[in-house]
Chain A
Amino acid sequence: MSEETKDDGLISIFIDDQEVRTKPGTNIIEVAKSIGVQIPHYCYHEKLSISGNCRMCLVEMGLPGRDRATGEAMLNPDGTPKIMFFPGPAIACGTNASPNMHIRTKTKMVTDAREGVTEFLLANHPLDCPICDQAGECTLQEQSAEHGKGYSRFIGEKNVKPKRTSLGPRVTLDDERCVLCSRCIRFCEEVVKDDVLGFVDRGSYSTLTCYSGKKLENNYSLNTVDLCPVGALTSTDFRFKMRVWFLKTTQGIDAETSVGCNTEVWSREGKIYRITPRQNDDVNDCWMPDSGRALYQEVEAENRLQTNFVDGKAASIDIALREASVLLAGNSVAIVGSGRSSVEEQYLLKELASAMGEVTVSLVSRIGEGDDLLISKDRNPNVRGALVTGLISELPKTELSDLAKSIDAGSVKTVLVVNEDLTEAGLTTEQLAKVKLIVLGTHQSATTDAANVVLAGMSVFEKSGTFVNQQFRLQKFEKAVPGPKTAMDDLIILASLLANLTNEKVVSTVDSIWDELSSKNALLEGLSYKSLPASGQLLDASSYEDLPFVEGETLHYKPVALAST
C-alpha cells in the first residue's frame, strides 16, 4: 500500500467515482463532506468516539482486488485496477480512508438501506413534528424527508414512553423521540468525564436514563441538548418558548471566563431566547458551559439600569454626560476599569486616562473555581485586552486596597468606575461617600446607589467589540439586541467624555477605533474588526509571558509555565 502514498502523505480515494486526496485514515463521512457529498448520520459526531449504531450512513464500499493465489493486483480488461465491492453496505462512520478505496453513496442498495433504516427509526417515533420543539433543526426531520419513503407502512400501535422526564436541573427528556444514537452518553463519558447517562431495556423499549442515584447536573449538561439529533433532549429553559426559524443568530463570546467560548446568540425582536456554542476547534470545539448560556438573563434582569441618574434623580444622557465631564475635569481622579469591557472600550478608557494626565487606573480581578474544560479561574473575559491596549501593565488584584488608601488619605477625590461594583472589590460605602463617583454600568449595585452620576451602558449582548482570551486570541462578538432605549453604547459614552475633556474630535465606533489601534499598537498591526476571522486571531503574547496569570490548564490551553514541562 505504501506505493500509493505520494510525497504529500495523501492517498486517493474515490467517492461516487470522484477522486479525493486525503490523509490515510480519515473518516469517510468527513472526506465526503469535504467534496460536498452529504452522508446522512445520527450517531456520528466529529468530536466524539465512533459508535456506529444508527446505521444511517450505510454506503457501498470497494477496494482494489488482489488475486488470492498470486497476491497480484487484479486488473480490468482496460488495465485499470479491478474494484471488488463488498456484497453488503458498510457504515461510513466506521470506515477510514485507505488507498484506492471506492465509495458509492447513490446506488440502489444505499438508498434502499437508508429507506429501511429510516422506517425502523420512525416506527416508534411520534410523527408530530408540528408540536415538537426540535422542528426546524431536527436531523431526523430533515433526513427522513430526504431519505425516507415518505409514507408509513407501520400499522401497529406505537410505543408510549414518558414525555417529560427530568434528567437534571436543566435538561428534560422526551423518551418517545429518542433514536438511541448515544451521542449524549458518549459526550458525558468522554468530554465531561461524568459518566451519568446510559440505556436500559432492550429493543423498542430501550430508554435513556441516568444511573441510579445520579443526575445530569454537570455544568456541561446542555451540550447534550445541542448534540441530540432529535427532539428528545430539550433545554428546560428554552423548550416551547420559540420556534427556531423565527430566531436570528449573531456571533457572540461567552463573557463569563477568560476561555472565551464562541457562541451563537439566538434572538427575535430585541429579545434573546437562547445561547448555543459555535464551533471553534482552537478554543471550545463544539461545547460551552451551562452557566454561560444563562448569561442572557442579565439583559432583562430586574436590577438593569434603565436610565441615567444625576445625584439620584433620573436625567437625560446629555445632562448626565455634562455632569460627568465637569467632575472629571477636576483634580485627583482615579479610574477603575473592567476586565469585562471590550478591547475598544479599554482603549478609549486608556485614552481618557492619558488625556487627564497622571491618573491611576486599576482593574478588579475576579477569581473563581476553574475546571479543566471550559471554565478558567479568571472570570474576567478580557484582562489580556487591558494589557494589550496598555490600560494596565500588571495583573489586577481582587481588592482595590491602594484605591481605598488613597480615598482615605484624601488624595483621590473623584472616581470613574466602568462596569464594576466597588463594594465587591473591598471598598466600604463610607469610602464611596467620601468621593465624587461616576459610574458607567449596566446593573444597579451598591456603587451605582452611591454614585453622583450614573451612565447606563450596554451589556455584552447589546454591543459589538472584541475580547482577548487566555490564549491571547483576539475574538469578536456582535451586537445581538438593541438594549434598553435610554441606555447608550459604552463606546459613545466614553468617547463623549473624552471629547468633552480634550475638545478634540475622537473616534467612537468599533471600526474607527480599530483604524487607530491597528496603526498605533504594534501587536494589533494590520488587524481590523471587519476582517477579523470568526475563529479569532492569535496575538503575539511573548512580552506577557512572565506575568503570573491565574488560569490552569483547560481545553486547548496550556499555561506557559506548564507548556514547557
Chain B
Amino acid sequence: MCCGRAREEDVDLLLDLAGNIGGRTVCPMGFSTTWPIQSYIGKFRSEFEEKAKAGYSSKKGFDERLIEK
C-alpha cells in the first residue's frame, strides 16, 4: 500500500488476515502486530482506501524511499 502497489480490495484483505492471525495462530506476537492494524483501519479506513485506490496510477504522496524504481 505504501509502495503504491495495492489493489482496492486489499484493505479488507488486510483486515481479514489480521483477524486470522490474532489468537488463531501459534504466533506469539499475533495480537501485538494485528491490533494496531485493526484499529488503524477502524479509525482511518478512508485513508487506507484512498491509498489503495490510487494504486499504480499515481505515485504522489507516497514515501519515495519505498517506491520500487
Contacts and interface: CB of A to CB of B under 8 A. Distances in A.
Contacts of B36: none
A112 B21 CA distance: 12
Contacts of A55: 24-26
Contacts of A89: 23-24
Nearest to A58: B24
Interface in A143-198: 153
B13 interface: yes
B15 to A, nearest CB: 12
A112 B26 CA distance: 16
Interface in A190-209: none
Interface of B is mostly: helix
A88 interface: yes
B55 interface: no
A315 B64 CA distance: 90
B20 interface: yes
Contact of A53 (B16, B20, B24, B26): B26
Contacts of A81: none
Contacts of B24: 55, 58, 88-89, 113, 116-117
Contacts of B13: 153
Contacts of B25: 55, 117, 120
B7 to A, nearest CB: 9
Interface size class of A (residues with CB under 8 A): 10 to 19
A344 interface: no
Contact of A52 (B19, B20, B23, B26): B26
Contacts of A421: none
A113 B25 CA distance: 9
A113 B30 CA distance: 14
A383 to B, nearest CB: 49
Contacts of A254: none
A117 B20 contact: yes
Contacts of A117: 20, 24-25
B50 to A, nearest CB: 21
A303 B17 CA distance: 61
A156 B23 CA distance: 24
A489 interface: no
A275 B53 CA distance: 57
A54 B20 CA distance: 13
A115 B24 CA distance: 11
A88 B20 contact: no
Contacts of B21: 116
A107 to B, nearest CB: 14
A462 interface: no
Interface in A89-144: 89, 112-113, 115-117, 119-120
A55 B20 CA distance: 11
Interface in B20-46: 20-21, 23-26
A82 to B, nearest CB: 23
Contacts of A53: 26
Contacts of A54: 26
A153 B13 CA distance: 8
A58 B30 CA distance: 16
Contacts of A52: 26
A116 B26 CA distance: 13
Contacts of B16: 116
Contact of B23 (A88, A119, A120, A153): A88
B26 A120 contact: no
Nearest to B7: A155
A119 B26 contact: no
Contacts of A88: 23-24
Contacts of A116: 16-17, 19-21, 24
Nearest to A109: B24
Interface of B: 13, 16-17, 19-21, 23-26
27 contacts: A52-B26, A53-B26, A54-B26, A55-B24, A55-B25, A55-B26, A58-B24, A88-B23, A88-B24, A89-B23, A89-B24, A112-B19, A112-B20, A113-B24, A115-B20, A116-B16, A116-B17, A116-B19, A116-B20, A116-B21, A116-B24, A117-B20, A117-B24, A117-B25, A119-B20, A120-B25, A153-B13
Given A58-B24, A116-B19, A116-B21, 7 more contacts: A52-B26, A115-B20, A116-B24, A117-B25, A119-B20, A120-B20, A153-B13
Interface of A: 52-55, 58, 88-89, 112-113, 115-117, 119-120, 153
The 4 closest A-B pairs by CB, nearest first: A116-B20, A88-B23, A53-B26, A113-B24
